[in-house]
Amino acid sequence: MTTTRTRAPGLELSLLWLLLAACGHAKPAATTNGPDAVQVSMQERAVPPPSQLSETPTDATGLELHAGLLAPLPVAITSFGATSDGTHLYVAGGYHGEPHRYSHEGQARTVQRLAMDGQSGWETIGEIPEGAQGLHLVHHGGQICRFGGSVARNASGETMDMHSSTTAACLNLTDRTWQALPDIPVGLSSHGAALVGSRIYLVGGWTLSGEPRTGTWNTQMRVLDLGAPDAGWQAVEMPFQRRAIGAAAVGNHVVVVGGMGQDRETSRSVDIYDVQAGSWSSGPEYPEDAFGIALAGLPDGTVVGSARGGNVYSWKPGQATWQPAGHLAFGRFFHQMIPTGPGRLVAIGGIGSMHSASRTRHVERVTLGASQARVLAWSMGHAGQAKNRQAAFVIGDDLYLFGGNNSLGQHDFDQSNFVAEGVRIHLPSMQTSRVMDFPARRQSMVVVRDGARVYALGGFGYAQGGATTQQEVYSFDRKAATWAQVGQLPLGRTQFGAFAHAGKLWVIGGLHYDPALEGEAAFDHRTDILSGSPDTLAALTTGIPAVRRAFAGAAHGGSYYMVGGMRAGFALVDDCLSFQPDSGAFAGMPCPGAARLSGSLIPLADKLWLVGGTVQTDDGLKPSNRIEVFLPDGRQWKPLAAEVPFSTRHAHVLRYRNQLLVVSTHNDEGRIRFALIDGEPEFQAPQAATQPKVASATAGGAR
């Protein structure tokens, strides 16, 4: 701490510890409650960032996998062929260039494989003669066989010239040579493939002859017996014409799902071909639009599908409906799902939206109907300088980190310790970009999400005379990735709660520190509640019942919940409260098994998830890896069986899709750690929760 005043040594030590406790933990992002957007009446003042950095993304370095993942694809691809021989996954071809601007430079030629035991990475075992996308692979008789695909004959920047291939060939896995099969009677791409016994069924798709947006729609299913290929291909009329479909074999059936028809409308249709009867029938519609769907057949006769939204559904012929069976951590389409065992699959490749930056490198394990919360975890080199206390939030698939402190020390508040850097990490591809800096060197800002708006409030930074709490309220421009000041707090504040409700911002609790004041007067624990638009935040007549800072807070169902934290004099808070912003009333609520300091509370699946922070142990305050879940309807806490697989000290806890995302840069190795936690929770035996304490709703007053 920098100061020009003289204090007694004992008092100086006490006050320093108070400030460190106030600023030593990054406040979790608050969540939005209610559909109304916060109204900004103040003219937004654009703040020129201190530096303008390149947004060119860089690939992950030093990647390490910790749970739930296999080695990621060396290059993220879409529209590729994939299969398995029981011990390895195989991938061939695919596209890694800009979507809808196809060229031969963007088409992959390699054949790669990955051991499913997770003990090694991908290895290249061959090539196809020319790059191709929209092809299919199957494993048969110790060989990997490929069928069709589209080939770009143009270079990048030239007029697109796409042609569907008639090629059928098998790669001998022993000598790794290709052996030709009879050509497919017509060029075929964007089709499906299913292997029943020794017969390959190519279904759907179209034939391209130059222009990639128009083609001749396939009306016949093509069938070849791989055990007797010289007999040639047979044709079977299809009752549909669709491409970008999913196809899978279960028993004696070929199941075809989704795709797009000649009317350019996406489909949910399910068509079933009985190979013994030689007849087609219809199945129940897929629950979602199924363009670019991945479909897999399991040995027990179950068909499993995954479309763009990431939800996984299962169905067996004869059942009336598809059933929810799980979901992928990363929603994707034009990917593949490959069975790896009873009720188990892996999801490979794909893309989240139609721009190349959204491709997915992760190869994630999927267990159908798992009751235990799934944990995926990985770490990689980090491009940022900040070790902790950044403003952190997720927009779409992008994690943003702004500002923070570059030291691991709790007491390092020199001007050089505060940073303003901006970092964006695309979670599916693991690519990092440097974006424009935060407007000031700052740490511990509180992030509030309200619909499309993102706000960063207050925090701690350096000013004339030393480190102090800050007042500014900034708004984030999602398109430009820049900040603009839209208001300010009446006083600088840190370690407070904030949320959006009914078109207003709300600020509650926390600490104001003024280094210009003497002794304990420099530390003002705030009990007022602020409400309004960013430029008109004003105190209500009602304050919080007692001092509370560094607590876990979240808005959910019209209430704001406050769990744990610290009072003046370093005492841990032993009561938990809910606040109703519409009435201004407080009510008691049960507390979790142990009081937490600087935890994060995240609304997810109609529950509140308490993650991170520190708890009291026999050895003092220690970071907690436990996850506790509050069920508001039952007013009870339950501990989750799964835990965060790394230290949660100074970790950020956010919501990503329908999962918890835990992120930590708090290490001296220059790494960033991630954990995704989801699934139907499996709870441990509940611990005795503390009884709710109801405090006066007007205690403390307004300031």
DSSP at 358: G
- pLDDT attached to residue 104: 93
d(CA 258, CA 291): 6
| pLDDT of the residue at 212 | 83
CA-based torsion, 639, 564, 497, 583: positive or negative: positive
The pLDDT score that the predictor gives to residue 32 is 36
Residue pair 136/146 in contact (Cβ under 8 Å)? The answer is: yes
For residue 565, give the amino acid letter. G
Angle at 168 between CA 162 and CA 172, to 5 degrees: 125
Q: What integer pLDDT is reported at residue 45 of this predicted model? A: 37
| Angle, CA of 497, 498 and 504, to the nearest 5° | 155
**Residue 298 to residue 101: CA distance in whole angstroms:** 35
The fold of 73-360 is Neuraminidase (2.120.10)
**pLDDT score of 64:** 96
Residues 6+ apart with CB under 8 A from 617: none
For residue 661, what pLDDT is reported? Answer: 97
Domains 1-58+383-540 and 73-360 share a fold: yes
Please check whether residue 432 is in contact with residue 58, taking contact to mean a CB–CB distance below 8 angstroms: yes
Adjacency order of strands within the sheet including 585-589? 552-556, 559-563, 576-580, 585-589
Predicted pLDDT at 684 = 53
pLDDT (0 to 100) of residue 689: 38
Task: Indicate the Cα dihedral angle 459, 460, 461, 464, nearest 10°.
Answer: 110
Which residues in the chain land under pLDDT 70? 1-55, 354-357, 679-703
Which of 386, 377, 376, 414 has the alpha carbon at shortest distance from 670?
A: 386
pLDDT of residue 515: 85
Q: How far is C-alpha 581 from the chain's CA centre?
A: 30
The predicted model scores a pTM of 0.90
pLDDT of residue 618: 83
Other C-beta atoms closer than 10 Å to the C-beta of 469 total: 28
Q: How far apart are CA 533 and CA 552, in angstroms?
A: 23
- Write the DSSP string, 649-686: TT-EEEEETTEEEEEE--SSSSEEEEEEEESS--BPPP
Instruction: Give one DSSP letter per residue of 280-337, joined into a string.
Output: EEE-PPPSS--TT-EEEE-TTS-EEEE-TT-EEEEE-TT-SS-EEEEE-SS--BS-EE
Cα→Cα distances 167→95, 145, 183, 186, 206, Å: 18, 10, 5, 9, 14
CATH 2.120.10.80 holds for 1-58+383-540: yes
The shares of helix, strand and coil residues in the chain, as percent rounded to the nearest 5, are: 5, 45, 50
Task: Give the C-alpha separation, 577 to 597, whole Å.
Answer: 15
Domain ranges of the chain: 1-58+383-540, 73-360
- In angstroms, the first-to-last Cα distance of the chain is 27
Closest CA to 599 of 544, 645, 644: 644
CA distance 224 to 237: 15
The whole-number pLDDT of residue 16 equals 37
The pLDDT of residue 526 is: 96
CB 560 within 8 A of CB 584: no
Query: Alpha-carbon distance 597 to 567, whole Å?
Result: 10
Question: β-pairing, 32-33 with 497-501?
Answer: parallel
